[in-house]
Chains A and B, each alone.
Chain A
């Protein structure tokens, strides 16, 4: 202290009361209360921005009590003090610094700096350089805390001297590259300024307020100014403790690292909770016990995992919470929109199209353009349809099939194309702004409305980022538009978005803010080791030992700081008020957490007791509730269908209720992740080729496998191109190839069958049957007639992966549970009791018999399964008149049931095989409240 001038003084404010009211009184101690409280000649150095805000508000209150107002002191945190001092035209922005780093990193001969890059990167592209640049920039920032450059470290760190010497070479290159652009490196600017800092005009005294850890470089600055104006350091601690603080009010690590912390009534104030959610719930319960907690209760959050849980818990208790840190803009809608636009500019994959289509700003834009005619729901439904049918790879492919006409789909796709055109035209950021302007069109924001003002704020923030990029772009040529998008999106995403504080909301404050909280009751949640105090372990550049050597912030300094803060918070609330500390034993993921070791800074004899107390098992806060049902589903009532497709019979037999869901309610999911043909599409494609062949008169008598094959493949290609365009995606190529293989093999069989006398009688023959008043519709793939015998044969194409014989797919063996089922479902075949599961082929024969009453009929599958050698004609010789009669009875009964609206009881099907599994929990029967047909 001897080197400091006489006008350097320390003041101690006792722990009788919280700090804030005391420090305001202290600042106002010379005020005569007549005029305004004028502190404008005072420069106050405080720990955080938020503390400055608190101070100014408290001063305003203090003055208001006397009907006066305040000319506030200027306030700075150590960091803003340096930043403001070094701010001058020509100092490089962070963006410029990073871009220069990128340039250096991509230019330099990495072999010349082997100690920095022992392994050469695979690709020295922009994103590699950017990531390294961020690391190096951050490293510069850390070193500047104590006014150091890379070269200084090389001189002081023998352990990795080579590495730092080479880093210093890189840093020189970076500084030189900036200088060449007429820019000064910002860290160097800070260091230079701090060497001869200029006191801001009008400052007549400096007060350092409860600053447990000023940056060393800022301390240098203040020390220099101490020779010009009085400097007063105000420490929140009883004067009796003055020996444990240094000149600048910093708690001394040697003392605070070892001393005991007095925590009164420890076991009722310190609470172990199971996890952050439990901490949140307890905290919310405390808050709820106050009729109006704002001002009475201060909340501190040390573990960020608690914050969002606490917001939820408080909102559950109808208490508003406010996070002064705000959330990053990454979480904002505009960011999502911009990301989708960036992706659209880069490559308009269909996925990007689908994402952008669901950005509500884009939808609003389409509505605007369509002058109210546009339906978002129709657009999205059509878009999903288009995807399911055409599997477009990208916007171009989508436009090719859906871009015409005046459907919402076409409007949407064309809108997107227009945006893309803007994005592809000219340079970033102007093109991005243009595209965005297009999206927002004529929209206006009412600044009085929180949400709209927020939107306007977001756009402004983006504009600022764009401007910065625009100005950097002139000096940093050679980056592509997509590099710039990446840069701008990162920068924008990291910006904080401060939301408006709802009236009466409780601040969720960080640990370091709490000293400035004046509420009598403080609750700190997340009081776990690693958060309070935090610790850096295993840094890739600055391990603890090196930090120590370099005079940077160390873990032990953090410990001392937090020990002091805890002591001050606790002591200032013993006379009135209360401090509760909550910690969790597990993270949300179930990993163990430890209580802060500050809680173990007790007198030695108490230590074992503390350990036992803090580490005792905690009971579950939330008792494990037995499963219970929130509600039963009440399916919409619709009249029984008047007509069903043939496939409906299989569905009804499998489960009448699911039949109702599919065939009456027409429930069918949309799969937004569809990238390839599903089983049905695949079948349809193969069918189409086979159908065309059957309809080609020239091929009627063809027995040449090659000719048939060629025709089928050509037909397949035609259908494929019509539906999917010429450029197929990789999965489609594979699938079409598979279809070709299968059709090729089928050709051989068809040729053989023709040679054996089977001629096509009908192809894709549609029929209608009326059973018990129910209209049944079907389409028979193919009916052949034998030239010799005149017999007719029905063939159904099957493209399922495994070839199943018809008998097996229509009947299954009965089991004891079937005893209760009606007799018409059962039939005895070859002495064994069977149950009908499908009636497709029998229904075909029944329809055919009406048309050709005299012909001998048979039927079977023409399988196109995946395994080589499996492809075959699978006939159903066992389907004799008796079996057909049984099938007819069964079909009539099913038709009757359907007409009568019998859709209950359901079958219980294992969830893995049930396409409706999402609806049911613990049994279909229990899940649904079914009261019969209306």
Chain B
């Protein structure tokens, strides 16, 4: 029986992977073929772990009866025992290359690879890696910037216009930088909504009209003078009058889109504060802390001014938005043509190719494929019966759209032979900024179950197998307070959070540990406290895994550095290491290539001079810029960067301290990175330097260090001890910067707008609504981030923040204060006493812990043993010589390149080939040669050669003589292995078959300038021919002196003896 469809909400640590692998095993046990199960997750690492886990589970069940029984019970098939699990294990192992267990991106790429022509690609494609993507962007920009004779083209002029509109109000003095920023910020938004009518289109933003965009406004100058006139006789204080005057003076100066001067802002704010009254025609506005009562005409005038201001600003933003669109469209047009069409795609491009068209699904399995559908079963060699999706909260709507029809087919399969399973945790949705869509989870569940109730079962996993009771208590205390959340962040974020929230429990009730919230004064204090706690707990000495989590990569790097420097703690930042530039050695090498390619670069030159490389260069006799340029550029040109860099590293190596393992490791990584660069086909120093500066290496996972990483990186991981010293920040419900992209219920983009500042957007209900929704999304994500951070710990967790003060913005600290309490008191961690306001568990938990030796470090050393005493010896390895190819002397480039020179060589080969066919003079068959289409000149030369009077001895039949034609030989001579071929050899034999004489003829098709030059030619070929003589000696058993050796000049019909040497 195939297990039914299930969606699982799995809280942190509740065994998501366990559930997934069990599901996989259950499907196998139900008879599903392994290759028909599609299991997709987000990272290749996770996919790898998933696979390892399945194998490990099956292997253990196959060998341990108890474990097998447990697993059998878990998957609801109590009858299974080790033998059955062994069978399943074999099945999975044999299916290894056919398994569909990987990432969503990889799965999509595989489909696209199978259907390139159907998807409009020209054959295969490559996925652009970071460096390549940047290089493409530069290439596209360069193409856009290029200058056509006769000035800029139409498209270029339009682009400039668009750029001006997009950057209105600011005169950009640097275009390239600004464009880069544009593309970083807006390219994705453009690709999601390329249609121009979505951008800055008031009809879409305000279908019912917008109160600020008045069709025929009154002239501003008139209104201003009217209002000014009305206010003139009014009894206003001096300060108030000054306010109004400044306001009136500033109004005509201001252009929409530019920052609002304070003079305008002041009255605008105060007017908007009583806006309804102003609209009504009777309002009291506050100016300089006193109210000014305004009557109907004054109100009308003021209202006109305000409407004008807001309307002008909105109008400007609409125009800027359209400008941005036009800029992006201009870029996209070139990009599409130059990059995608040439088979270079991003993962996003791949996914977009598979998005279903408006009229229905694109992908279908074999039987159900209709017109225009891609029937994937045949091309991908199999059918997809079962779907397992991991981390579902991070799935984007786009990804879901691609898969939807395939999963529909499985869920609605009438035979019930197919299934759907997904697992996720909306509380850990920290990738909404990367399109992750946590609301999908419930939507899909509801969608299927509304159609047919009970189609998909919903399950909740709340027991944590990771965290001990102290941690769970803290998590529950913070996130279980629905009332507090609603109070702090009223709205959808808290509602959704509270709806999905279930109180957590620890499945490891006996795990001793400690959770506390501690306070410090400022950043320095937080860092110092981190060090203090680590010294106190000393996790590494106790064999505990420990992580310090931060919000940003920069903090992680800085903090890791601090721990090492100030605390003497072995800490590494699990961020990407810039191995080529984070150390003096790499920096110096980059300076070397830069100085070589750009000798006028005084920076690089002086940098080089500050390093020991200078002495190395001197030792290589490269004392001038000229010498360095010539040498290093020639090296790069001939050998590429990898070898060049390795060359110089080898020379600088002796300078390094003998115990400087770090720099040696970096040197290794540097060369490895250079090899990667070489493989990209890049050749220029500028590209190389850019590549190396960006090149990052992720440190292999290592034990025995404190890991400092971002919370995002820690997702999915667990540690014995977790410290959170970086929870500061502003209000957490803050909308992300960037264009406002409004989506409809079905996720289609409704409109895009470059939002004006708050003062403006908060006046418009449509925009305000958008912003509120965006804030809710940000707020939910921020809660999720804290949740992820707080659920990484197994035994102990320490939150370190500034002392919670009275009025702080709605940030993490405030949330903690309201849930955990904010009255500071002394708290202990072991022997250390600090100030804090909450704790649970045992503050001395660590003192008795000793986990060392629990984990085996792996790392078994390879026996580098020799072969067991070999029973056989290999043939000796010898140098190789090829007498015929063994060319010596000098050739000129001109000669080498000449196209007719090649023709000469070809001619020679053909003559050789014909002569090899000739056994004796009388057997020549020139007619046959002609018939075969051999060129006339070749035939006549061969014919003349065979017929030449001087050459009778070469060609005339000789009784008892054997002839070798174009005969290959192999021999070992003087310790070298020689392979070659004789052109023609005649061997005389006696009756016993013993050789009695031999003559070697070697054909030369080169033209002699005149017959007197024969001697030169003989000298040139003497070494080669004497080698032939010795070979023939071995082959015939004759002494070399008995063997004649001659050069035959085919063109001249001449022969020349080669003397024995």
Number of interface residues of A (CB under 8 A): 214
Contact A607-B255, Cβ < 8 Å, known A56-B979, A625-B662 = no
Q: Name the A residues within 8 Å of B152 (CB-CB).
A: 728, 730, 733
Q: Name the A residues within 8 Å of B874 (CB-CB).
A: 18, 21, 295-296, 518-520
Of residues 652 to 687 in A, which have CB atoms within 8 Å of B's CB atoms?
A: 661, 665-670, 672-673, 675-679, 682
**B96 in the interface, Cβ–Cβ < 8 Å?**
yes
Is the Cβ of A669 less than 8 Å from the Cβ of B603?
A: yes
The 6 closest A-B pairs by CB, nearest first: A619-B859, A592-B48, A576-B871, A381-B600, A440-B893, A619-B858
Q: Closest chain A residue to B906 by CB distance?
A: A467
Q: Closest chain A residue to B690 by CB distance?
A: A673
Is the Cβ of A289 less than 8 Å from the Cβ of B871?
A: no
Q: What is the distance, in angstroms, from A800's C-beta to the closest C-beta of chain B? A: 9
Is the Cβ of A592 less than 8 Å from the Cβ of B44?
A: yes
**B621 in the interface, Cβ–Cβ < 8 Å?**
no
Contact A735-B110, Cβ < 8 Å, known A69-B971, A89-B933, A619-B857 = no
Q: Name the B residues within 8 Å of A309 (CB-CB).
A: 672, 675
Q: Closest chain A residue to B978 by CB distance?
A: A60
Is the Cβ of B606 less than 8 Å from the Cβ of A661?
A: yes
Is the Cβ of A441 less than 8 Å from the Cβ of B564?
A: no
**B951 in the interface, Cβ–Cβ < 8 Å?**
no
Q: Name the A residues within 8 Å of B630 (CB-CB).
A: 360, 363, 376-377
Is the Cβ of A285 less than 8 Å from the Cβ of B381?
A: no
* In the bound complex, CA of A919 to CA of B590 (Å): 11
Q: What is the distance, in angstroms, from B525's C-beta to the closest C-beta of chain A? A: 15
* In the bound complex, CA of A331 to CA of B1014 (Å): 42
Is the Cβ of B146 less than 8 Å from the Cβ of A520?
A: no
Is the Cβ of A734 less than 8 Å from the Cβ of B89?
A: no
Q: Closest chain B residue to A59 by CB distance?
A: B970
Contact A921-B583, Cβ < 8 Å, known A463-B896, A735-B173 = yes
Selected from A397, A631, A677, A731, the residue in CB contact (under 8 A) with B655 is A631
Is the Cβ of B170 less than 8 Å from the Cβ of A866?
A: yes
Chain A 577-610: CB-based contact to B (< 8 A → 1; otherwise 0): 1101010001010111010010010001101110
Q: Name the A residues within 8 Å of B583 (CB-CB).
A: 627, 629-630, 921
Q: What is the distance, in angstroms, from B134's C-beta to the closest C-beta of chain A? A: 11
Chain A 338-377: CB-based contact to B (< 8 A → 1; otherwise 0): 0100000001010100110011110100000000000111
Is the Cβ of A626 less than 8 Å from the Cβ of B662?
A: yes
* In the bound complex, CA of A665 to CA of B607 (Å): 10
**B292 in the interface, Cβ–Cβ < 8 Å?**
no
* In the bound complex, CA of A89 to CA of B910 (Å): 13
Is the Cβ of A393 less than 8 Å from the Cβ of B147?
A: yes
Is the Cβ of B170 less than 8 Å from the Cβ of A630?
A: no
Q: What is the distance, in angstroms, from B25's C-beta to the closest C-beta of chain A? A: 14
Chain B 590-610: CB-based contact to A (< 8 A → 1; otherwise 0): 110010011111111011011
Q: Name the B residues within 8 Å of A592 (CB-CB).
A: 44-45, 47-49, 51-52
Q: Name the B residues within 8 Å of A821 (CB-CB).
A: none
Q: Name the B residues within 8 Å of A71 (CB-CB).
A: 967-969, 1035
Is the Cβ of B867 less than 8 Å from the Cβ of A577?
A: yes
Of residues 843 to 891 in B, which have CB atoms within 8 Å of A's CB atoms?
A: 857-860, 862-880, 887-891
Is the Cβ of B93 less than 8 Å from the Cβ of A611?
A: yes
Is the Cβ of B970 less than 8 Å from the Cβ of A381?
A: no
* In the bound complex, CA of A106 to CA of B590 (Å): 47
**B713 in the interface, Cβ–Cβ < 8 Å?**
no
Is the Cβ of B872 less than 8 Å from the Cβ of A21?
A: yes
Contact A576-B175, Cβ < 8 Å, known A377-B624, A444-B891, A636-B606 = no
* In the bound complex, CA of A293 to CA of B598 (Å): 43
* In the bound complex, CA of A780 to CA of B785 (Å): 55
**A918 in the interface, Cβ–Cβ < 8 Å?**
yes
Q: Closest chain A residue to B1037 by CB distance?
A: A35
Is the Cβ of B872 less than 8 Å from the Cβ of A17?
A: yes
Q: Name the A residues within 8 Å of B1035 (CB-CB).
A: 35-36, 68-69, 71
**B378 in the interface, Cβ–Cβ < 8 Å?**
yes
Of residues 264 to 299 in B, which have CB atoms within 8 Å of A's CB atoms?
A: none
Binds B, one of A5-13, A77-85, A127-135, A839-847: A127-135
* In the bound complex, CA of A577 to CA of B868 (Å): 5
Contact A669-B857, Cβ < 8 Å, known A336-B637, A537-B110, A739-B173 = no
**A496 in the interface, Cβ–Cβ < 8 Å?**
no
**A544 in the interface, Cβ–Cβ < 8 Å?**
yes
Selected from B119, B572, B598, B892, the residue in CB contact (under 8 A) with A442 is B892
**B629 in the interface, Cβ–Cβ < 8 Å?**
yes
Q: What is the distance, in angstroms, from B108's C-beta to the closest C-beta of chain A? A: 12
5 contacts between A and B (CB under 8 A): A443-B893, A464-B902, A624-B572, A630-B656, A919-B587
Contact A447-B889, Cβ < 8 Å, known A275-B700, A869-B253 = yes
Is the Cβ of A538 less than 8 Å from the Cβ of B897?
A: no
Q: Name the B residues within 8 Å of A35 (CB-CB).
A: 1035, 1037
Is the Cβ of B892 less than 8 Å from the Cβ of A607?
A: no
* In the bound complex, CA of A727 to CA of B971 (Å): 69
Contact A445-B891, Cβ < 8 Å, known A333-B637, A611-B59, A624-B705 = yes
Of residues 440 to 484 in A, which have CB atoms within 8 Å of B's CB atoms?
A: 440-448, 451, 453, 456, 459-460, 462-464, 466-467, 470
Q: Closest chain A residue to B603 by CB distance?
A: A669
* In the bound complex, CA of A519 to CA of B891 (Å): 39
Binds A, one of B156-164, B513-521, B730-738, B806-814: B156-164
Is the Cβ of A620 less than 8 Å from the Cβ of B702?
A: yes
Selected from A312, A355, A501, the residue in CB contact (under 8 A) with B684 is A355
**A539 in the interface, Cβ–Cβ < 8 Å?**
yes
Is the Cβ of A921 less than 8 Å from the Cβ of B582?
A: yes
Is the Cβ of A520 less than 8 Å from the Cβ of B147?
A: no
Of residues 134 to 175 in B, which have CB atoms within 8 Å of A's CB atoms?
A: 138, 142, 144-147, 149-152, 156, 159-160, 163-164, 169-175
Selected from B145, B163, B892, the residue in CB contact (under 8 A) with A443 is B892
Selected from B138, B681, B890, the residue in CB contact (under 8 A) with A445 is B890
Of residues 688 to 709 in B, which have CB atoms within 8 Å of A's CB atoms?
A: 690, 698-703, 705
* In the bound complex, CA of A567 to CA of B174 (Å): 66
Is the Cβ of B858 less than 8 Å from the Cβ of A61?
A: no
Chain B 660-691: CB-based contact to A (< 8 A → 1; otherwise 0): 11110100100110011010010111100010
Q: Name the B residues within 8 Å of A626 (CB-CB).
A: 564, 570, 662
Of residues 623 to 671 in B, which have CB atoms within 8 Å of A's CB atoms?
A: 624-626, 628-630, 633-634, 636-638, 640, 642, 646, 655-656, 660-663, 665, 668, 671
Selected from A36, A274, A580, A591, the residue in CB contact (under 8 A) with B44 is A591
Of residues 330 to 362 in B, which have CB atoms within 8 Å of A's CB atoms?
A: 337, 341-343
Q: Closest chain B residue to A440 by CB distance?
A: B893
Which of B175, B378, B878, B903 gathers most chain A CB within 10 Å? B175
Selected from A18, A64, A69, A444, the residue in CB contact (under 8 A) with B872 is A18
Chain A 375-398: CB-based contact to B (< 8 A → 1; otherwise 0): 111101110110000000110010
Selected from A40, A116, A631, the residue in CB contact (under 8 A) with B117 is A116
Is the Cβ of B144 less than 8 Å from the Cβ of A594?
A: no
Binds B, one of A428-436, A688-696, A703-711: A428-436
**B899 in the interface, Cβ–Cβ < 8 Å?**
yes
Contact A131-B122, Cβ < 8 Å, known A447-B887, A731-B176 = yes
Binds B, one of A118-126, A245-253, A754-762, A824-832: A118-126
* In the bound complex, CA of A575 to CA of B156 (Å): 75
Q: What is the distance, in angstroms, from B556's C-beta to the closest C-beta of chain A? A: 15
Is the Cβ of A590 less than 8 Å from the Cβ of B258?
A: no
**B581 in the interface, Cβ–Cβ < 8 Å?**
yes
Q: Closest chain A residue to B1032 by CB distance?
A: A69
* In the bound complex, CA of A463 to CA of B140 (Å): 33
**B790 in the interface, Cβ–Cβ < 8 Å?**
no
Q: Name the A residues within 8 Å of B642 (CB-CB).
A: 308, 312
Q: What is the distance, in angstroms, from B203's C-beta to the closest C-beta of chain A? A: 28
Contact A467-B899, Cβ < 8 Å, known A312-B646, A612-B59 = yes
Contact A60-B970, Cβ < 8 Å, known A618-B859, A731-B175 = yes
Q: Closest chain A residue to B612 by CB distance?
A: A631
Is the Cβ of B145 less than 8 Å from the Cβ of A61?
A: no
Selected from B584, B859, B863, B894, the residue in CB contact (under 8 A) with A621 is B859
